[in-house]
Chain A
């Protein structure tokens, strides 16, 4: 670096101070309202609680209670619903999203129009999405009217009150809500693949479908990685749609209960007949969920990183 350039920079120590001063407002807000509550939550899971008061250190007592009946039943029920949710989203939203993106990639016209339409539900509040679908799927609603009209169904439609169906209906609505995101990420990923790669495959006699599996998929690993990671984080944080459509208990009979709705009931008091909070249990559950999310995310990112084809 030339002397002139050096002179124009703030002197060394003052440069550090200036940088610190610039970072400080963001660091204070982020530290106070994100890092501090997160760390005290993890630490607090090792204590006994009465209401919002932290009492004695109790080691892993809360965790033992979490994994004992009847709490364990709720825990594993909710965990299974989240796992099912993740795989449902991977298959229906991200799998079908990839197909839509691939079709758009080969369309010369209209791609951005379709992308805009597909993405629109994603900018809506989950409250609007949930309330809208609750009305559409209610007895007397549009879905019943259409299915009956097409002769696919007879009488009252009660899928949201049916514990065999409710969870899958919610997963489908979540996919409807977020389908545009994998479509956008995958089309962006496909456009980065050089056209010659497809051209070479076509000369080798590969059809459009063959090219998807043999050419596009291996080169799309970075896009698949971000879509999968985002879906993982979002499904294990799932709360909004369940709360709006099925209530905080995950009706009917806890069949749509998720880890975060269970956490919410424990933390803010809607669990059990009397609605008493159990902060110790909530924090233990929160900590487990935190570990699951961070370890899961890191493992996913690492696995995809290894699978990435180096050009």
Chain B
């Protein structure tokens, strides 16, 4: 590399590394603080912990009942992801491949939901959930999350299914396969990338949300992780070590998923943008 080439490159790397530090430094502070007492955090917030103590994790785990909350989050997220994939794939299949006139309108009705601000309907949604006796229940959360995520899922599925060759299902129809069989054993495996995009982004959105648990869940035993953490942070705001540890515990599964799926998440977000 020529000296001028090196100089022309230098500020570029400085800017990129600069923002990397801005992103990673707070997360680094979080990680090291998990292993310190509050006094140690005050004295030396960025230093490595002197001893590797797991007291904060043990305290946070027991006092916040995070095990229970994690199970709740897994149930709600898993349920919403599975139902969303099944019903959205079923709807997207005829809408994108049958060439029906009303299919276009139906698709538009679903896609409008991508930008509908559903939180503003939360009063009527609350009344509806109360009448259906779905308040304080995981099933209620699963239903609401599924409803909210259906538009994005149909959008992705329809885009992937539209471009498949017709021979795919015609051969199966000649063999006498039913439409459900065709969808789930022939079409869906071919659009596996779409399934993974829908699964990943539904998981992120549902796992992270705390607005709907905030208004629908009152029983401590049914709370999901983000809602429990919100309460916990307020309750123990002076015990920093323990609060950091609770954040660390709730961050761990997301970090693990991100390390495994960073490429798919990057590509999906760039293509769709609809992560929130």
Task: Show the binding face of A for B, using Cβ within 8 Å.
Answer: 5, 8-10, 15-16, 18-19, 22-23, 25-27, 29-30, 32-38, 40-41, 44, 52, 99-100, 103-104, 106-107, 110, 112, 114-128, 131-136, 140-142, 145-146, 176, 179-181, 184-185, 187-188, 226-227, 230, 233-234, 236-237, 239-240, 243-244, 260, 263, 267-268, 279, 282-283, 286-287, 289-290, 293-294, 297
> In chain B, residues 245-264, which have Cβ atoms closer than 8 Å to a Cβ of chain A?
247, 250-251, 254, 257-258, 262-263
Which residue of B has the minimal Cβ distance to A289? Answer: B120
Instruction: Kindly state the separation between the CA atoms of A18 and B273 in the bound complex, as whole angstroms.
Output: 32
Instruction: Kindly state the separation between the CA atoms of A239 and B254 in the bound complex, as whole angstroms.
Output: 22
- Bitwise, B205-243 to A at CB < 8 A (1) or not (0) is 001111100010000000001110110010000001001
Residues in B with CB closer than 8 Å to A5 are 166, 170
Contact A133 B113 (CB under 8 A): no
Give me 6 A-to-B residue pairs in the complex whose CB atoms sit less than 8 angstroms apart, sorted by A's number. Answer: A29-B146, A36-B128, A107-B12, A118-B23, A127-B226, A239-B119
Nearest-CB distance from B36 to chain A (Å)?
A: 12
Nearest-CB distance from A54 to chain B (Å)?
A: 9
Contact B91 A121 (CB under 8 A): no
Nearest-CB distance from A63 to chain B (Å)?
A: 15
- Bitwise, B121-163 to A at CB < 8 A (1) or not (0) is 1111111100000000000000110111011001000000000
Interface: B116 (CB within 8 A): yes
Take A29-B147, A117-B20, A239-B211 as given contacts and tell me if A286 and B15 are in contact as well, using a CB distance cutoff of 8 Å. Answer: no
Interface: B45 (CB within 8 A): yes
Which residue of B has the minimal Cβ distance to A141? Answer: B45
Residues in A with CB closer than 8 Å to B186 are none
Interface: B115 (CB within 8 A): yes
Q: Which of B29, B147, B265 has the most CB of A within 10 A?
A: B147
Residues in A with CB closer than 8 Å to B117 are 233, 236-237, 289-290, 293
- Could you count the A-B residue pairs with CB atoms below 8 Å apart for me: how many are there? 250
Interface: B110 (CB within 8 A): yes
Take A32-B147, A41-B121, A106-B12 as given contacts and tell me if A117 and B211 are in contact as well, using a CB distance cutoff of 8 Å. Answer: no
Instruction: Kindly state the separation between the CA atoms of A40 and B26 in the bound complex, as whole angstroms.
Output: 43
Contact B12 A263 (CB under 8 A): no
Interface: B52 (CB within 8 A): no
Residues in B with CB closer than 8 Å to A267 are 122-123
Take A8-B173, A115-B266, A124-B208 as given contacts and tell me if A104 and B16 are in contact as well, using a CB distance cutoff of 8 Å. Answer: yes
Take A112-B266, A131-B243, A226-B273 as given contacts and tell me if A22 and B94 are in contact as well, using a CB distance cutoff of 8 Å. Answer: yes
Contact B106 A23 (CB under 8 A): yes
Residues in B with CB closer than 8 Å to A230 are 273-274, 276
Nearest-CB distance from B248 to chain A (Å)?
A: 9
Which residue of B has the minimal Cβ distance to A125? Answer: B208
Residues in A with CB closer than 8 Å to B247 are 128, 131-132
